[in-house]
Chains A and B, each alone.
Chain A
Amino acid sequence: MSSRAQVYLLALVFISSGIGLTLYKHLSLNFPLSPGSLTRVWEVEAKVTFWATQDAITVDLALPRSQDTYPIIDETFAASGYGFDIRSEGEQRRALWTRREASGQQTLYYKLKIARQASSSIPIEPLQVSQIPDKLIWTPAQEATANTLISQAHALSADPSSFASQLLKLLNEHESVEGSHSLNDPHQGVSHANLALQLLTRAGVGSHIVRGISLADRVHNEAASELLELYDGQNWKIIDPLTAAFGLPADFFIWQRGGDSLLEIEGGRGSKIRFSLIANDLPAKNVALMHVQEPNSTLVDFNIYSLPVEKQAVFKLLLLVPIGALVVVLFRVFVGIRTSGTFMPVLIAMAFMQTTLLTGVGLLTTLVVVGLWIRSYLSQLDLLMVSRIAAVLIVVVLLMAALSVISYKLGLEQMLNMTFFPMVILAWTIERLSITWEEDGAHEVAIQGLGSLTVAIVAYLAMTNTLVGHLTYNFPELLLAILGIILLLGQYSGYRLNELFRFHSAVES
């Protein structure tokens, strides 16, 4: 294969894998492509309280599952003195706290963070028709009422959905009337949803209770909401037992579908579960990261986020170097600008990032001008070259120290960052420029100096761009795409911009 074909192939592989990985991370792992987007994250705290009865305690709490619309990005459990375990029973996840003996009021916490993902539909997966829950013990009169309600609803409906809807309306009417024979047992006090479930089950409609919470900001000690889900022969449908309205309410986070109960406690009494919520708007990237911590995504595992935070900051800078290199390549290949030292402008641009642009340009110019002046004096002293460059280096350092002190006294803090200037490179640049001055004249020095400065400024602007910074840091695989582009540029055989002028007189006669 010819080298040209290899370059094209490599470039294709690099660019497509770079962009492909980026798109994968964006589409599948929800890494945002722009730095600005925010995702709403709720912190939900479930607080379980009960009175211990000095027996062995088992607290069994149903846990929510990650959902497409509301993926769980983090969860923590807190209960001192309790053993803890998570059990999966089919569709259900249950937390189990156990303790041999305790007394007084007990409080257990379960915290989770959920993020809202843009998901088009709310898929409700098929579920086994759950077992019939314990029947309520009804008096014969209550039994008769229940049967009447069922038969009335049956007469007014056509299919399981409309039947359920009619039945719930009838039930609500019945229960709202004062003094009538309530189907509810005043002592046992089952929930309205549970009551409705009893009727539906009795009528032979496969159904179960869906428990969850309405997501709202700053909610304290709220009980779980209960909805019903019924099987109409083809699909599961959610219905609100109070309003008889179908469909999942907006901002509803499903905690438990089917199953026996939300909370079961042995060895305690007066148990309660209450939910508190706080909403936060977090940068979408952080959310995506939290999200992928749990599923084993090697792509994210082998990346910069696994480094300690302070090291990440260093990499943030390093990952920008290829951008600077790209700018240099573009300028040299397409424009044909002359710089002193091929990649020196990138180092200068990195120094500018620390000092800010204007201060940086001012400092650099000062250092180079003073350096050149000193170098011109040193050249009269007939020194060996290494000593001469070292002397220039030391003068540059002294100059930087002096400028630092002066700027600090003047309160110009960002000048203090001038230590980021690559001093050795600077000393060499001064030496080279000085020789260029002697050999080719001040004109050439001006061209090279301005060329370097122009490229450095453009590189600086590219490297400080928020979008560029965001993309290189969060999608380091884009560097592969840059590599591919640079390989392609290495094959570019067209004219440079300056050649259009340089060679112009070759064709004009």
Chain B
Amino acid sequence: MWINRHKKLRDAGVLGINERNVSYISRYNQRQNFPLVDNKLQTKKAAVAVNLPVPELLGVIESPAQLKALPTMLRHHQRFVIKPARGSGGKGILVITQRSDEQFFKPSGTALTFADIRHYVSNILSGVYSLGGKPDVAFVEALVEGDPVLGKYAHEGLPDIRIIVFQGFPVMAMLRCPTSDSDGKANLHQGAVGVGLDIARGTALKAVQKDKVVTHHPDTDVKFSDLVIPNWRKLLELAGHCHDFTELGYLGCDIVLDQQRGPLILEVNARPGLFIQVACGIGLRTRLQKIESLARKDWHVDERIDLTLSHFSNSPDSSGPESNDTSL
């Protein structure tokens, strides 16, 4: 049975963690480029430097002494997010959606006092959420006002779009929809729904929650098959640009849709997970090898998007997209 499963996965071109680590991350991602993406604050600053849209930065707290400045920093903000710069796997993110004087409310309605927030930030600073427990930096950013187009696909939190970018070519995408199980977080192993997207169109392929295929959002009961991400090419361009400013060959780019500002880069991941293959029902290897086989190296971002659009579509009208692309 195991041999059989192994063969099926191999035939479908599903990438395993070992292969991802050995053949892609360690080969295409230079170690020196990791710190930039492992530190969300630095990623944000680097993205801003090349005029890429990101959520607005409200303030940074680098040391316990600066905790005193926290009330001033938050004085005019009703809705904000506190994040550890080096948090991994979405850990340590505090979302405040409402405020009344000294009371802060999480999306779930839980009230926090100012002292709670102080304590939370001091935890971030001492490295509770960072890898290896290294001292960290906390930053506050404006809460993204989610685009109502996607709002119905989320419970409490904000859905985000993960795009895998290989050598600058967007190769696979999925929408991550928070559920009540995931406590408003777009974290798949906590129970968020992963909706595989057609990389050429931004339409839904399949939706998976905790290894089970679902057709409707478990909380909002909205059908996933009708999903279309607006402005899809713009998202692909942002993802393509992530390759240029991070210099990572293999990355996962997380994008959210803001009601006013449109797509914003939330963060970049140098070791993106592989569950996206389950959400899309497609193996990554075929697409990655396709790009590896390209002779030309200096592609402009627009050319890369064009190639993605023409070669990696899943839509039924283009017959066998993975096999008939012999033109290159």
Contacts and interface: CB of A to CB of B under 8 A. Distances in A.
Interface of A: 333, 336, 382, 384-386, 428, 431, 435, 439-441, 490-497, 499-507, 509
Q: Which of B19, B212, B275 has the most CB of A within 10 A?
A: B19
B95 to A, nearest CB: 14
Interface string B1-12: 010011011111
Interface of B: 2, 5-6, 8-12, 14, 16-19, 22-23, 91-92, 115, 119, 122-123, 126-129, 133, 189-190, 206, 208, 211-213, 274-275, 277-278, 280-283
Given A506-B12, A507-B283, 12 more contacts: A435-B91, A492-B22, A493-B16, A494-B19, A495-B6, A495-B14, A496-B17, A504-B8, A504-B9, A505-B278, A506-B280, A507-B11
A87 to B, nearest CB: 66
A435 B2 CA distance: 35
Contacts of A495: 6, 9-10, 14, 16, 18-19
A500 B19 CA distance: 14
Contacts of A509: 206, 281
A384 B128 CA distance: 10
Contacts of B126: 384-386
Nearest to A497: B2
Contacts of A497: 2
Contacts of B23: 493
Contact of A505 (B17, B208, B283): B208
B278 A506 contact: yes
A495 B278 CA distance: 15
Contacts of A494: 16, 18-19
A503 B18 contact: no
20 contacts: A333-B18, A385-B126, A386-B126, A490-B22, A492-B22, A493-B18, A494-B19, A495-B9, A499-B14, A500-B2, A500-B6, A502-B278, A503-B9, A504-B8, A505-B211, A505-B212, A506-B277, A507-B12, A507-B281, A509-B281
Contacts of B274: 499, 503
Nearest to A491: B22
Given A384-B122, A428-B133, A440-B190, A503 B128 contact: no
Contacts of B17: 336, 496, 499
Contacts of B22: 490-493
Contacts of A435: 91, 128-129
Contacts of A499: 9, 14, 16-17, 274
A228 B92 CA distance: 92
Contacts of B277: 503, 506
A351 B206 CA distance: 48
A336 B16 CA distance: 10
Contacts of A431: 128
B297 to A, nearest CB: 18
Contacts of B190: 440-441
B116 to A, nearest CB: 8
A336 B21 CA distance: 13
B301 to A, nearest CB: 29
A492 B277 CA distance: 20
A222 B213 CA distance: 90
A406 B119 CA distance: 38
A502 B273 CA distance: 12
A435 B87 CA distance: 13
Contact of A507 (B9, B122, B133, B211): B9
B29 to A, nearest CB: 14
B19 A506 contact: no
B281 A506 contact: yes
A386 B127 CA distance: 9
B4 to A, nearest CB: 9
Contacts of B281: 505-507, 509
Nearest to B11: A507
A503 B2 contact: no
B86 to A, nearest CB: 14
Contacts of B5: 500-501, 504
A458 to B, nearest CB: 19
A191 to B, nearest CB: 78
A255 to B, nearest CB: 64
Nearest to B1: A500
A-B CB proximity, top 10 nearest: A385-B126, A493-B19, A495-B16, A506-B278, A382-B119, A507-B12, A500-B5, A493-B22, A506-B277, A507-B8
B11, B14, B208, B281: which has the most chain A beta carbons within 10 Å? B14
B210 to A, nearest CB: 10
Given A382-B115, A500-B2, A507 B14 contact: yes
A431 B17 CA distance: 27
Contacts of B208: 505
